[in-house]
Chains A and B, each alone.
Chain A
C-alpha cells in the first residue's frame, strides 16, 4: 500500500509545482542578467540587472533591491534596437595571460538587443531607460509588452555602435 502511495503523492506534488510555475509565468516575466545601458540613476553603465515584467509595470532589480519601477501608464514609447557588445574585460585578461596576441579578442563581438523605454516620471519629466539583453529575452519582453497593448517599435537599423562589456 505504501509503495503505491508514494508515486501518487509525488505526482500530486509535481502537478502542484507545474500549476504554480504556470501561474507565476502568467503573473510576471523575469529577464535575468540584462545590462544597464543608461538612464537609471545610481546605476553604472554595464551593471547587471534583472527585469521583472508585471501586468501593469516593469521593475528593474539590482539583487534584491528595486532600482526603478515604470508603470505601463507612464510609458510613452518603446523601441527595440540592435547593437554589438565587445569583451574588454576578457580582452584585458587575455593580454595579461597571452601577451599582445590576446588583444585580438577585442575583435570578438556579441549581438544583443537594446530595449529603449521612454517614459515620464512622477513630475511629468521625460526619462529614458536603456537595457541590453540577448535576442531571445528581447523577444519575450516584446511579447509581454504587446500583450498589455504597449507598442514596440523597430527603428531603421543604424551603424552598430561599439558598446563595451566590463
Chain B
C-alpha cells in the first residue's frame, strides 16, 4: 500500500513539473517564426548543401501552412518587433544517404534515405524552449526510386505540422 502511494506521489510530482511548460504555450500567440540553420551532430556526415536546402524547405513549408503571418530568416527582423515570435532551431542527429538505384531496383525499404533532427521551438523574446521534439524525413519510394533530397522536404513538412498542431 505504501509502495503504491509513493508511486502515485512521484507520478504527481512528475506531472506537476511537466505541466508548467505545457501551460506556457498559448494557441495563436505567435505570428512570426524565425528559421535558423540546423546544426549537425559531430560524426554525422550531413552534406552542407542539404543543410541549406533544409532551411529553404522549412521556410517554404511554414509559409504554406498559412498559420504564421511572417516566416523570417536569421538576420531578418519581424515586421512587428514587439509582437511575440518563435525561433526554430535544431540539430541533425541521424542521416542515412540511401541509394536511389536500390530504391528503384530492389524496393521493400532498401536504399532508404533518412534524416532525423531534434528540433526546438524557442520563444524569441524570453529564450525559453517551448517545445523539444524529434522529427524525421524519409524517402522510401518514389518516381524512379524518388529523389533523396525529398527527405529534407519530408522533415520540413513534419516540423510544419508540429508547429501547426502545437501553436494554433
Q: Taking the complex as formed, is A38 at the interface, i.e. its CB lies under 8 A from any CB of chain B?
A: yes
Question: Could you tell me if A106 and B105 are in contact, using CB atoms closer than 8 angstroms?
Answer: yes
Question: Could you tell me if B145 and A88 are in contact, using CB atoms closer than 8 angstroms?
Answer: yes
| Assembly CA distance A103 to B106 (angstroms) | 11
Question: Could you tell me if B105 and A160 are in contact, using CB atoms closer than 8 angstroms?
Answer: no
A38 touches which one: B37, B49, B143, B145 (CB < 8 A)? B49
Number of residues of chain B lying within 8 A (CB) of chain A: 31
Question: Could you tell me if A161 and B50 are in contact, using CB atoms closer than 8 angstroms?
Answer: yes
Q: Taking the complex as formed, is A50 at the interface, i.e. its CB lies under 8 A from any CB of chain B?
A: no
Q: In the complex, which residues of chain B have a beta carbon less than 8 angstroms from the beta carbon of A129?
A: 52
Knowing A45-B149, A81-B47, A104-B105 are in contact, say whether A124-B76 is a contact too (CB < 8 A): yes
Nearest CB of B to A58, in Å: 16
Nearest CB of B to A98, in Å: 15
Give the tally of cross-chain contacts (CB within 8 A).
Answer: 102
Task: Label chain A's interface by main secondary structure.
Answer: mixed
Task: Label chain B's interface by main secondary structure.
Answer: mixed
Question: Could you tell me if B76 and A164 are in contact, using CB atoms closer than 8 angstroms?
Answer: no
| Assembly CA distance A125 to B98 (angstroms) | 32
Q: Taking the complex as formed, is A59 at the interface, i.e. its CB lies under 8 A from any CB of chain B?
A: no
| Assembly CA distance A104 to B100 (angstroms) | 12
Question: Could you tell me if A39 and B52 are in contact, using CB atoms closer than 8 angstroms?
Answer: yes
Which one of B9-17, B22-30, B67-75, B83-91 is at the interface?
A: B67-75
Q: Taking the complex as formed, is B53 at the interface, i.e. its CB lies under 8 A from any CB of chain A?
A: yes
Knowing A114-B49, A130-B52 are in contact, say whether A162-B37 is a contact too (CB < 8 A): no
| Assembly CA distance A123 to B74 (angstroms) | 10
Please, which residue of chain B has its CB at the minimum distance from the CB of A114? B49
Question: Could you tell me if A107 and B101 are in contact, using CB atoms closer than 8 angstroms?
Answer: yes
Nearest CB of B to A30, in Å: 23
Provide 15 A-B residue pairs closer than 8 Å at the C-beta atoms, listed in order of the A residue. Answer: A83-B47, A83-B49, A114-B49, A116-B49, A125-B72, A125-B75, A127-B73, A130-B52, A158-B45, A159-B45, A162-B100, A162-B101, A162-B113, A163-B148, A164-B147
Point out residues on A near B: beta carbons under 8 Å: 37-39, 45, 79, 81, 83, 86, 88, 91-92, 103-104, 106-107, 114, 116, 118, 120-121, 123-130, 155, 158-164
